[in-house]
Structures are given as structure tokens and as C-alpha cells.
Amino acid sequence: MSHIHLPDGVIPVFWWIVGYVLTAAMLGLAISRTKSTEARRKVPLLGIIAAIMLIGQSIPLGFIPFHLGLAVLAGIVLGPWLGFMAAFISNMFLALIGHGGITVVGLNTMVVGSEVIIGYLLYGMVRRAIARPVLPVVLATTLTLIITITFMVGVVAIAQVNPALILMGEEEGAIRESVVDSPAAISLRRFITLIVPIAAIGIAIEALATGLIVKFIMGVRPDIVGAPARERGGR
Amino acid sequence: MSEHRLENAGADDFGRDLLDIAFIDNLAYNRDSVMHKASALSKVTMVALVIAAVVISTEALVFVIALAILLTTFSISNLPVLRILPFAGYAFIFSLIFAVSSIGGGITPIVVILKAVTAAVSMLLLITTTPYPQIFALGRKIFPTILLDAMLVTYRSFFILMEQVERVIIALRMRGGYSPLRVVGNLDIMGKVVGHGFIHAWELSENMQNAMLIRGYRGGMPVSAARKHSIKYSLLPVLLGATVLATAVFA
């Protein structure tokens, strides 16, 4: 759910390029960590889970401006590396329909991809501590979203600084002036004030929904989420 | 998916968002115009030039001119402009949040919004006149095989899964299972719907995987541009993009 909905033209060039470079590096790592034969076998599953994320992100939940992200679920089912690829694919499709800018795809993939990876790791840890099937999913999703939303706010906070001036070693006054004049200059406090209430509701909904989805899956096909993801390969 | 069903489903509040990609895909495949005849590369170039203009300019006038050019192009492209423009609403709403929280002295909230909407409209012009596979065909040189193949599976399976979700939603509504004001109740239902869709998708992927193995899949699905493109048509989007960028540079 911690998808940065910022459109093109508001994040400074340096930061969206950084986002793309980091995403390319992570995708390279993800592809290298996935064995070629295993990768070929997993292409349909990867594509379909990305489609499910896309559908989840297209369904509004009633009157609140919120949709499911399903990134933690993707991490649980696909594992961290294929899950990261699924995050990239769903973000690319969303950008093509104007749901977040095309220049923000890199940063968005880093945010949603981190949700996949952290969700996968936390689910593994919590599941070992709590034997019940659904509670670990709810807890892992809640903790993951708190971490990744903090990361997202951090991205927005960092992106308001003009890095070019810092890299060139300009005086403090010039940097401050640049920040105020920057197209991306924002009041972080005001931004957080707007985001936090939506995020709090969003975290509760996403955690509950992911738990309910896993509960349903466990009732019908427990093998999909019942076995630790490590046993199914793909990472 | 028939145009008739899309039109009906598109009128439905709940189904409309779900059908974004299907509706856009329909326009890209089944309409015909100068922009539809232009090559995917020329239209991607146009979007890149417009986004470059969006990045470098902070003049409201530049974006007003860019929007005028893009909307005029929409109107000559045999596209339902009023049905398409709401898709730029995502960009509008989220740039509005950003603009409201802005303290920038050098840029006004209206420019933030205009930047976002201009980029979104150029992207809409691309995807409503270019089928996704043609855009993916360009990606063959950029993306690794596994990613491009997975994107094609995402694109194809989206419609299959969407049709299934659509059927479940119709069944839910007929039984009074969905109400916009019942968030918790909707969540429970959506959990079951998505869980059901998930299992169906899992089984679909298993079948697809078997079919691909039997057909000797070794990575790299064939992607080709279906239409024949004329250079004269392809000049139009490039010229449009160049005009917008020139306006941004010299304004």
C-alpha cells in the first residue's frame, strides 16, 4: 500500500534517477539469485502474481481513498527476489495508466519491493514464534507497512533537497535557498499530517485483508502459503 | 472483450477502476487514426520529450500550451476524450496533495498540478493509441527476458483474472454482498474474493507453466508489432513532443 502516488515532474531528477539505478541493481541481483531453469519455470507464476497485485491496486475499498497493495502476500508466496520483480512489473503497469508517474517507477519499486522483502522476512520470523496461521500474517503485514511507510516518507523528505548543490559543496545559505525554490520543496510536517491518518487506516485494512486472504487460501489450498516459501524455490 | 460489455461495465463505479486497462486496451486496438498508425517508438519518443519538458519547466504557460496540443491530438485521434481524461485524475488528486503541502517559493501549486496532469495526459495518449505488446516489443532491448516474459503474462492473465473477478462481483452485488459504506464487511468479502482469485490464478499459472514447458519454452516469448507503420504518420508524435520541449526550453 506504500505506493508513492506522486506524478511526474515533482521529484527532482537526481532522486528519480537514483531510484531507477537502485531498482536496476536490485533487479539484477534478483535475476542473478534466481536460477535460469527455475526462473523459466516461475515466469507464469511471477506474471500472474503481478497481475493479482495490479487487480488489488485497482479495486477501491468503499468510500476511503485506499486500495490493497498485496506486496506482503506476494513476498510470502513468491519469496523476496521474484516478489521484487513482481513489484517492478505492477508499478510499471500502474505508471502506464497514470497511477504514479513513469519517472517515479524506480522509487516506487524500491518502496513496494522493500515491502515484499521485509514482509517475507518478518513473516518467516513471526511464523516461527506463533503457531496460529493468520496472526503471523497480520503482524508481519502491520510491521512491514509501518517500516515501509516510514521509508516512503523518508524518500519524500530526502527528495526535497537539491542534491546537486550539496555535491558541488555550495554554502549552507545557497542550499537553503535552493530547497525553498526547488519545485519539490515541501513541508514534511504538513505532508506527514496529510499522510498519517490515511496510512493508519490503510495499514489496518491491508493487514486485515491480507490475513483474511491467507485464511481463505489456507482453507482451500494450504500448500500455497502453508509451506515455508523457501521450499518452493525461486529465490 | 466486447465493446458493449466494456461500455456497460465502465458505467459502473466499482467496475470502472477495475476495467481501466481493459478499456484502454480496447481503444488502442479497435480505434483507427493518425496517432494509431504512428509507430510505438515515435509515441514513446513523444512521451519522453513531454516528460523532459515537464521536468525542466516551471512556467504554467508552457503546460497550458502542452495540454492544448495534447488534447487537440486526442480529439483528432478518434478517442472518447471525456471518458479518457478522468484517468488523469490519479495524477491530479495526488499532485493536489503535494501542492497543498508545498512551501516552495519559486513554484505555485497550480504549476505542480499542471506538470503532473501534462505528463499523465501524454502517457494516456500513448497507451490509448498503442497496444501494450507494441510497447513491450520496444522493451525487448531494455528489459531482461524473464521480466519481459512476465510482463506479457501479466498483461494476458490480467484480462482472464479480471473477467473472473467481474463475475464474482456481479454475484456479490446480486446477493447484496458489497456496499460502498460497509468497509469492514467489504474487507471480509474482498478477502474471500481475492483469496478465491488467488487460488484460481495459482492454478492458472500451473497450467500455463505446463503448457509452456510442453511447447519447449526456453525464455523469450515472441513479441511483434502487429501494425505496419508509415514514417509520415510517425513524424506527427515526434513533432508534437519536440514542439512541447521547444516551448519549455525557449519560454
Tell if the CB–CB gap between A52 and B190 is shorter than 8 Å. no
Specify whether the CB–CB gap between B36 and B126 falls below 8 A: no
Tell if the CB–CB gap between B180 and A27 is shorter than 8 Å. no
CA distance A92 to chain B (A): 9
The answer to whether residue B224 scores a pLDDT higher than 70 is no
The answer to whether residue B9 scores a pLDDT higher than 50 is no
| Mean pLDDT, residues A104-114 | 90
- The gap from C-alpha A56 to its chain's centroid, in whole angstroms, comes to 13
Angstrom distance (rounded) from CA A96 to CA A57: 14
State residue A167's pLDDT score.
32
Given B105, B132, B183, which is nearest A180 (Cβ)? B105
Grid coordinates 497481475 are at which residue?
A: A51
State residue B10's pLDDT score.
38
| pLDDT confidence band for B47 (50 / 70 / 90) | very high
Given A99, A208, A216, which is nearest B195 (Cβ)? A216
Angstrom distance (rounded) from CA B229 to CA B206: 37
Specify whether the CB–CB gap between B106 and A186 falls below 8 A: no
Specify whether the CB–CB gap between A135 and A94 falls below 8 A: no
Which residue has better confidence, A227 or B188? B188
Q: Which of A227, A194, A199, A186 is nearest to A115 (CA)?
A: A199
Between positions 36 and 75 of B, the ones with CB within 8 A of A are 47, 51, 54-55, 58
Specify whether the CB–CB gap between B132 and A216 falls below 8 A: no
| Mean pLDDT, residues B178-192 | 72
- Kindly state the greatest CA–CA separation across chain B: 62
| pLDDT confidence band for A176 (50 / 70 / 90) | very low
B180 touches chain A (CB under 8 A): yes
ipTM rounded to 2 decimals: 0.77
- Average pLDDT over all residues of chain B: 78
The answer to whether residue B36 scores a pLDDT higher than 80 is yes
| Mean pLDDT, residues A47-63 | 76
Angstrom distance (rounded) from CA B83 to CA A150: 36
B185 touches chain A (CB under 8 A): no
- B chain contacts of residue A187, beta-carbon cutoff 8 Å: 101-103
State residue B112's pLDDT score.
80
Tell if the CB–CB gap between B150 and A50 is shorter than 8 Å. yes
B105 touches chain A (CB under 8 A): yes
Q: Which of A19, A183, A3 is nearest to A103 (CA)?
A: A19
Q: C-alpha distances in angstroms, B60 versus A100, A185, B73, B85?
A: 21, 17, 20, 20
Kindly report, residue by residue over A185-214, the tens digit of the pLDDT.
456 666 677 677 777 888 888 888 888 888
The answer to whether residue B251 scores a pLDDT higher than 80 is no
| pLDDT confidence band for A143 (50 / 70 / 90) | very high
Helix B20-30 to helix B3-10 angle (10° resolution) is 140
In the chain, the amino acid numbered A218 is: M
State residue A118's pLDDT score.
94
Of A49-58, A139-148, B20-29, highest mean pLDDT: A139-148
pTM over the 0.80 mark: no
Q: C-alpha distances in angstroms, B19 versus A71, A130, B11, B87, B200?
A: 21, 39, 10, 11, 19
Number of alpha carbons in the 13 Å side-chain half-sphere of residue B6:
15
Kindly report, residue by residue over B117-132, the tens digit of the pLDDT.
898 889 889 988 988 8
| Mean pLDDT, residues A81-95 | 90
**Which residue does chain A place closest to B169, by CA atoms?**
A59
End-to-end C-alpha distance for chain B, whole angstroms: 45
The answer to whether residue B145 scores a pLDDT higher than 90 is no
CA distance A55 to chain B (A): 7
Which residue has better confidence, A134 or B224? A134
CA distance B235 to chain A (A): 22
Tell if the CB–CB gap between A47 and B105 is shorter than 8 Å. no
**Which residue does chain A place closest to B20, by CA atoms?**
A97
Percent of chain A clearing pLDDT 90 (strictly above): 20
CA distance A35 to chain B (A): 11
B215 touches chain A (CB under 8 A): no
CA distance A11 to chain B (A): 9
Work out the burial of residue B95: count CB atoms within 10 Å of its CB; fewer than 13 is exposed, 13-18 middle, 19 or more buried: buried
- Average pLDDT over all residues of chain A: 76
Given A9, A44, A97, which is nearest B54 (Cβ)? A9
Angstrom distance (rounded) from CA B94 to CA B99: 9
Tell if the CB–CB gap between A62 and B196 is shorter than 8 Å. no
Tell if the CB–CB gap between B192 and A6 is shorter than 8 Å. no
Specify whether the CB–CB gap between B127 and B198 falls below 8 A: no
Range with the poorest average pLDDT among B106-110, B137-141, B160-164: B106-110
| Mean pLDDT, residues A150-173 | 53
The answer to whether residue A7 scores a pLDDT higher than 80 is no
* DSSP characters over chain A: -------TTSS-HHHHHHHHHHHHHHHHHHHHHS-HHHHHHHHHHHHHHHHHHHHHTT-B-TTSS-B---HHHHHHHH-HHHHHHHHHHHHHHHHHTTSS-GGGHHHHHHHHHHHHHHHHHHHHHHHHH--SSSHHHHHHHHHHHHHHHHHHHHHHHHHTS-HHHHHHT--HHHHHHHHHHSTT-B-HHHHHHHHHHHHHHHHHHHHHHHHHHHHHHHHH-HHHHHS-GGGG---
| Mean pLDDT, residues B70-96 | 80
Angstrom distance (rounded) from CA A92 to CA B198: 21
State residue B109's pLDDT score.
76
State residue A84's pLDDT score.
94
- A chain contacts of residue B40, beta-carbon cutoff 8 Å: none
The answer to whether residue B170 scores a pLDDT higher than 50 is yes
